[in-house]
Structure 1
Amino acid sequence: MERRTAQFISALRASGVRISLAESEDAFQAVKRMGVQNKERFRLTLRTTLIKDARDLAVFDRLFPLFFRSDEPPPMQEAAARLTPQEARQLAEALRQFAQHLQEMIEKLLQGKPLSQQELAQLNELMNPNMPLDLRDQNWLARQMEQWMQFPELRQAIQELLQKLEEMGFNRRKVDELRRALQNNLNAWQQQIRRQAGENILERMAENPRQPPSEGLLQRPFQMISPEEMRQLRREVQRLAAALRTRLALRMRRAKAGQLDSKATLRAGLKYGHVPLELRFRDHTLKPKLVVICDISTSMRYCSELMLSLLYAIQDQISHTHAFTFINRLAYITPEFAHLPPEQAIEQVLQRMPPGYYNTDLGRALQDFEREYLHILDSRTTLILVGDGRNNYNDPRVDLLQRFARRARTLIWLNPEPVWLWGSGDSDMRQYAPLCQRIFQVSNLAQLAQAVDQMLLQ
């Protein structure tokens, strides 16, 4: 308990609560005197000794139940307990249509078994240990853990299972009972996962020193950024772009005379007895010509906005950029950037295509591009796609992207999702990936800036 209390105090400090060493010692002494048997008394003891500002009470009340709680999992019920032997055989037969992993998960739900500590520990191991997190990210992290456990596929499998049972003549009342029990047990799993996400964050807060605000923001995943943090990142983009512009300009100056071609120089020196009297150079490096197609649906909006901000902040080092955005249709947005500063231009584009619950359809956007803008792709063009490759089960039109890849010099994809999520749910990324020369994971601004750096400085 002393170790847990020390971690709790560290997490309070990491959350901005000022606690001196003397106050920590007072808390340990008070707990020793008051005991830990009565949870409410224990809570009040810590709150009295550690909190001296009423503004910090909310932080204390949010952290305490995550550190000091019962280890009992949420209650679950056995869904298949009242089935007859024939119904149990029908259920087993219906389950055989699913992959082994989904079968095991559904059977566990039917039996009313909670997630084991080993399964929850495995979820922790999947997290990037260097990713900065705080308690505002608990819901996001819980959703990530659900994706890792393939919850979307599990929900779809449950619906298909219940539908199959109805087709097999299963009693309608029994099907409804199974549906309710499975949903309740799945909700209990979600509670376990959310609790585990909170503990994961708290352990990091307790054990890792806080990063400088700007550094933490650069590493912060786009899905976890608040509107205020986004305003700060827009300022960071200008700083990153200035450094990138300097490196690009230096490369172009060095390339003005061309790069030394050692093989051609050695061949020319043969007539002088292998003495390299005539230096030969490769062709001059040309400024890149870019075509950028950005997904600005709700999940991708911040990533695409910052990508466009970076590109247009270094536009003097690029031959030309044709910029497009899409949700379920393609929009040509280059004119906005021709007449407005980048931040105002992006704001105008976002107003024209406001956030909301759309059906993202990259396949249709590629079709629009082929019909109206295919002529801008040529052998000097670098085609860049910014998106997660999720199409809401629409036709991905891989054939069109293959055609674009043949016309362009290079096809590059910037995707915020890790490789192991490709192909899950409505992701078509595994079909798109073989057509790309390079794929960058860009889940935060630091990765995005590094990707742009590598694309343009190669």
Structure 2
Amino acid sequence: MERRIAQFISALRTSGVRISLAESADAFQAIERLGVQDRERFRLSLRATLIKDARDIPIFERLFPLFFQAQEPPPLQNALSGLTPQEARQLAEALRQFSQYLQEMLKKLLEGQPLSPEELAYLDDLFNQATPLDPRLQNWLTRQFEQALRFREVREALEALFQHLQEMGLNRHKIAQVRRTLQENLSAWQEQLRQHAGERILQAMAEAPRSPTADGLLQRPLQHLTPDEMHRLRREVRRLAAALRTRLALRMHRARNGQLDPKATLRASLKYGLIPLELRRKDHTLKPKLVAICDISTSMRFCSELMLSLLYALQDQLGHTHAFAFIDHLEYISPDFEHLSVEAAIHQVLQRMPPGYYNTNLGRALAEFQQRYLSTLDRRTTLILVGDGRNNYNDPRTDLLEAFARRARKVIWLNPEPPWLWGSGDSDMLLYAPLCTHIFQVASLAQLAAAVDRLLMP
């Protein structure tokens, strides 16, 4: 228990709560005197000794139930116990239609076995570098675990199994009984994964280094940011935007004056015996026009917010920017940014289209853009897509993106995921990639700023 309390204190510090060594010692003394048998008294003892600012109480209340859970995962049941030998043979025969992996998963569900330590260790190794440091992303990490264990295929296999058993003539009441037990066991697996995801996040928070410097924060993966770190990054965005604005203004100044065209100058000098009496310059470069389509689902919100912050901080150097946001449908959000900060504007957009789980649909967003906003694209426009390319197995509508690419000057995709994750699970990036002019990985604010700088180059 002492080790657990020490990890809890480390996680509070990682979340931005200031806790001195003296306050940590007070917490251990209070627990030694009051004990841990009464959970509510235990919670109040820790809060009274560790929290000195009322603004930190929500962080404490969010972390405490994750570190000190009140209940274990629900027990699993054996679905085979109520079957006759003949029904058990029919069930075994029905299982042979599936792949070896699905057979093993369905057998474990039927026998009421929890996920093994080996399977959980596999998940830990797989997501070792992707474990977030925010407990509010516990459900997100749980979904990643489910995708890695192919839960979607397991659910589909269950439905196919029940259909096959019905065709084999198994008693309907027995099928209903088996269905109910398997669904309860699958829910127990989900709860086991949810608690394991919480453990992973807590362990990562306890082992995380203290508040990073500004330079270190720029390199911090966006998906691992805490709310406090995101607040600090919003200030860094203003500094980066000022530097980008100066650089872009210098480029535009050179474009207005006209850059020297060496080839045209040499051709003009032929009539003067190769003496360059006439200096020829390149054509005037117009301000770039941008159309940004941003995924603001839970996993992409920070990245899209920072991207929009940079673009609208550079607005005086751009011809025009049309901004769109999507989760399961498309919203035109440029009017929201006219009188509000980017953070307030995104909050207002989320009130109209709150995020959910498994509902991102880029294909539908592209179709709505084609129907209602296609006129915003022309040969001067750069189309920017900000998202991880995960489409929840919906139609990706690559035909629409191909049509947009023919109409626009270029198509830029900003994706926080590394290329080795493209095509995994519900990712459609391998389908979208050939249609893009450039794809930049933007896992951190530093990478995002570098990408914005490059996409605004003439």
**Is the TM-score greater than 0.5?**
yes
* Partner amino acid, structure 1, of 2:425: S
TM-score (norm 2): 0.73
- Structure 1 contact 382–408 (Cα < 8 Å) conserved: yes
1:142 equivalent in structure 2? 142
2:425 equivalent in structure 1? 424
CA distance in 2, matches of 1:366, 1:65: 41
| 1:456 has 2:453 as partner | no
- Structure 2 contact 19–50 (Cα < 8 Å) conserved: no
2:19 equivalent in structure 1? 18
Distance 1:183 1:62, change over 3 A: same
Distance 1:256 1:180, change over 3 A: same
CA distance in 2, matches of 1:8, 1:344: 30
| 1:211 has 2:244 as partner | no
User: 1:174 deviation in Å?
Assistant: 2.2
CA distance in 2, matches of 1:179, 1:288: 58
CA distance in 1, matches of 2:283, 2:143: 51
SS in 2 for 1:411: strand
User: 1:241 deviation in Å?
Assistant: 2.3
CA distance in 1, matches of 2:339, 2:23: 56
CA distance in 2, matches of 1:341, 1:66: 36
- Structure 1 contact 255–284 (Cα < 8 Å) conserved: yes
User: 1:65 deviation in Å?
Assistant: 7.9
User: 1:182 deviation in Å?
Assistant: 2.0
* Partner amino acid, structure 1, of 2:211: Q
1:289 equivalent in structure 2? 289
Within 5 Å, which residues of 2 pair with 1:28-107? 40=37, 52=49, 75-107=75-107
- Structure 2 contact 288–382 (Cα < 8 Å) conserved: yes
Within 5 Å, which residues of 2 pair with 1:323-342? 323-326=323-326, 330-334=330-334, 340=339
Residues 184-223 of structure 1 deviation map (CA, whole Å, 9 limit, x = unaligned): 3223323332332233233333333222597769847569
Q: Output the aligned Cα RMSD.
A: 5.2
CA distance in 2, matches of 1:104, 1:279: 76
1:193 equivalent in structure 2? 193
* Partner amino acid, structure 2, of 1:323: A
* Partner amino acid, structure 1, of 2:248: L
Distance 1:173 1:40, change over 3 A: same
Residues 13-40 of structure 1 deviation map (CA, whole Å, 9 limit, x = unaligned): 5463735279659959x97xx9xxx974
Quick check: 182-191 or 350-359, which moved more?
350-359
- Structure 2 contact 77–185 (Cα < 8 Å) conserved: yes
Any unmatched runs of 5+ in structure 2?
A: none
* Partner amino acid, structure 2, of 1:438: H
User: 1:86 deviation in Å?
Assistant: 4.4
User: 1:52 deviation in Å?
Assistant: 3.1
- Structure 2 contact 367–400 (Cα < 8 Å) conserved: yes
TM-score (norm 1): 0.73
1:382 equivalent in structure 2? 382
1:108 equivalent in structure 2? 108
2:403 equivalent in structure 1? 403
User: 1:411 deviation in Å?
Assistant: 1.5
SS in 2 for 1:18: coil
Count residues with an aligned counterpart.
449
Residues 104-123 of structure 1 deviation map (CA, whole Å, 9 limit, x = unaligned): 32232223222222322222
User: 1:133 deviation in Å?
Assistant: 0.9
- Structure 2 contact 222–302 (Cα < 8 Å) conserved: no
Distance 1:197 1:97, change over 3 A: same
* Partner amino acid, structure 2, of 1:310: L
CA distance in 2, matches of 1:341, 1:64: 35
